[in-house]
Amino acid sequence: MNLEKTVLSILKARGYRDESEIQEFISDKPQKTYDPFLLLNMEEGVDLVLSSIENDERICIYGDYDSDGITSTAIMLEVLSFLTDNLSYYIPSRFDEGYGLNMAAMEKIKAAGVDLIITVDCGSVSVDEVEYAKQLGMKIVVTDHHKVSEKKADCILINPTQPECQYPFKALAGCGVAFKFCQAIAGAAGLPKSAYNSTLDLVAVGTIGDIVPLIDENRTLVKYGLKALNSGKRKQLAALMDGIDLEPGKVKAYNVSFGIVPHLNAAGRIKEAKLGVQLLRETDDENLALKVERLKECNKERRRIQDETYNLCLEILKEKYVEDEFLVLELDDAHEGITGIVAGKIKDSFKKPTIILTPTEDDCYKGTGRSVENINLYELLKENEDLFIRFGGHKAACGFTLKKKNIGELRSNLNSRLAEQASEHKNACDLEGKADICLEIGEITEALADQLDLFEPVGCANPRPLIEIRGNVIRSASIGNHGQYRKFTLGDKGASINCVLFKNTERFDHLSENGNLISVVGYPNVQKWNGRNYLQLVAECVKE
């Protein structure tokens, strides 16, 4: 393929310089994947699982209540079902049990006659819980992708982030690790590749949902997974897509991120932790339709609660903390299931890392955090490890529990530390509106818009390419049910392009009213209407 000069420039700026690297990046049949047995402890894990299956032992998949944990659980169940029927699964309640393993769950699982627990998307730092499971007479394999601490679970641990693990790619999602484990098990058991490759649609959903870097092996897994998803072959996901008006064949990473994932997550956020897995395993059409409707109801309720909580945070920030560089907000009545989303929205609105705290019991608070680019949240929390009862997470997100008396010290420490990283924080804020390349209006064509689709799937570490153009607003109009959006035409040097803007419209109104030149940062796309193509720029922001 002859790539446009603009596309090549963006690829090279992102580190893709060799012809082979570029071809791998744009290929619809990428090859970048690695031998699962390069993962530390993989051979021991496979041997233990196959031995348990041979002895007809009962196996329980222990997952998590988010989209990564839900899809990881479904992947393991689907592949292992080729080898045994003696399977069960356990998804802890976000509210009553929290993230990861817990003692009460170990007792319930043991009482159900389980011999082997396989965790997915959790367990690396559940040191005491793993020991307790072993004391109860159960074997355990932990598969996970979260950062490990110096004190890690004493069991077969399959996690690419272990310092001693030589796996070439460290950023797999939990479902990616589960998939590699299934790949290894299937290979050792003599199953066909289709036994695990059939789960790639689930891998795509979980990987996109967990906001891990969409590069390297993740890009390969998600590309093939989106193809499978768009085929509509998995009736459960096809039913969900139909229920939320997503058309098979046209689903991209964005649609997964803002359509499928929120609905799967909504179940765990609104107290029905198992509903996501139940939907993915439902075979009866009537029951499947009911579960889709229940997920839609959960998501609608989630959005209502989320909006209320976000507005409450804004009210708090009118009175205090708004000058802080690290926002730490206590919400006594917030619904615990949506604090992560709200923390992300506050982070986006104020361009500051944000933690939201909600009370639990025994004078404790549970915290959920989201970080901006260039600020490693996990490392910041690790510096304050002595303040937590437990904590975990990664660069962009975290969760923890601490005593109420330690909140003030945590807030002070985080803000002091961030003041030392002021230049990095400023650089993170300056990333808003940063374009990959500046072009003349006349250089934006349908051919360019089509080739920019080669960057799909876009997301974390592979954002949608943004173009900056400059010109005068020739005409503009308010659009949307409440006139909340803007449609305008930007012109310069005899060329013009139609643009649409869905946010920061007040800034646009101010900049465009005096007729001065403005800069618009966005991405081109082609709308089809009545058999004709219409080129436009979807604006992300406007600047002077």
Please, what's the b/e burial string for 372-395 (b: 16 or more CB within 10 A of its CB; e: otherwise)? Answer: bebbebbebbbebeebbeebbbbb
Burial class (CB in 10 A: 0-12, 13-18, 19+), 258: exposed
Q: Which of 266, 274, 325 is nearest to 62 (CA)?
A: 274
Residue 49 has φ and ψ, to the nearest 5°, of -65, -45
State residue 99's pLDDT score. 82
The predicted-structure confidence for 17-28, as pLDDT tens digits, reads as follows 999 999 999 999
Among the listed residues 73, 54, 259, the one whose alpha carbon sits nearest the alpha carbon of residue 174: 73
- Judged on CB neighbours under 10 Å (0-12, 13-18, 19+), 520 is buried
pLDDT of residue 351: 87
Query: In whole angstroms, what is the distance from residue 90 CA to residue 69 CA?
Result: 11
Residue 432 is classified by DSSP as T
* pLDDT at position 428 over 50: no
Residue ranges covered by each domain of the chain: 35-293, 320-430, 437-543
Residues in the chain: 544
Per-residue pLDDT tens over the stretch 194-215: 999 999 999 999 999 999 999 9
Q: Which helix (H) or strand (E) holds 17?
A: none
The arithmetic mean of pLDDT across residues 230-242, rounded, is 97
Contact present, 80 and 195 (Cβ < 8 Å): no
Whether the Cβ atoms of residue 30 and residue 217 lie closer than 8 Å to each other? no
Q: How far is CA 410 from CA 355, 372, 407, 415, 420, in A?
A: 11, 18, 5, 9, 16
Confidence band for 429, pLDDT divided at 50, 70 and 90: very low
- pLDDT score at 107: 98
Per-residue pLDDT for 361 more than 90? no
Q: What is the mean pLDDT of residues 373-389?
A: 91
Burial class (CB in 10 A: 0-12, 13-18, 19+), 477: exposed
Domain topology for 437-543: OB fold (Dihydrolipoamide Acetyltransferase, E2P) (2.40.50)
Share of the chain above pLDDT 70, in %: 98
Question: DSSP secondary-structure letter at 454?
Answer: G
Q: What is the pLDDT of residues 96-107, one digit of tens each?
A: 888 889 999 999
| Range with lowest mean pLDDT among 180-194, 384-398, 446-460 | 384-398
* Side-chain-side CA neighbours of residue 488 (13 Å): 25
Chain-wide mean pLDDT for the chain?
94
Separation CA 126–CA 131 (nearest Å) = 9
* Tokens representing residue 164 in the block: 């001693």
CATH architecture of 320-430: Roll (3.10)
What are the pLDDT digits (tens) for 254-282?
999 999 999 999 999 987 889 999 999 99
437-543 matches 320-430 in CATH topology:
no
**How far apart are alpha carbons 336 and 321 in whole angstroms?**
21
Query: What pLDDT was estimated at residue 433?
Result: 66
pLDDT-wise least confident of 88-102, 215-229, 327-341, 418-432: 418-432
**To the nearest 5 percent, what fractions of the chain are helix, strand and coil?**
45, 20, 35
Percent of the chain with pLDDT over 90: 83
* Closest to 350 measured CA to CA, from 370, 380, 335: 370
- In DSSP terms, 364 is beta-bridged to 403
- Report whether pLDDT(49) > 50: yes
CB 518 within 8 A of CB 473: yes
Q: What is the mean pLDDT of residues 359-375?
A: 89
- Orientation angle between helical segments 103-111 and 127-135, nearest 10 degrees: 30
Partnered with residue 467 across adjacent β-strands are 437, 522
Q: Which CATH architecture has domain 35-293?
A: Alpha-Beta Complex (3.90)
Query: Does 262 sit behind a cis peptide bond, omega within 30 degrees of 0 on the bond before it?
Result: no
User: How far, in Å, CA of 181 to CA of 328, rounded?
Assistant: 38
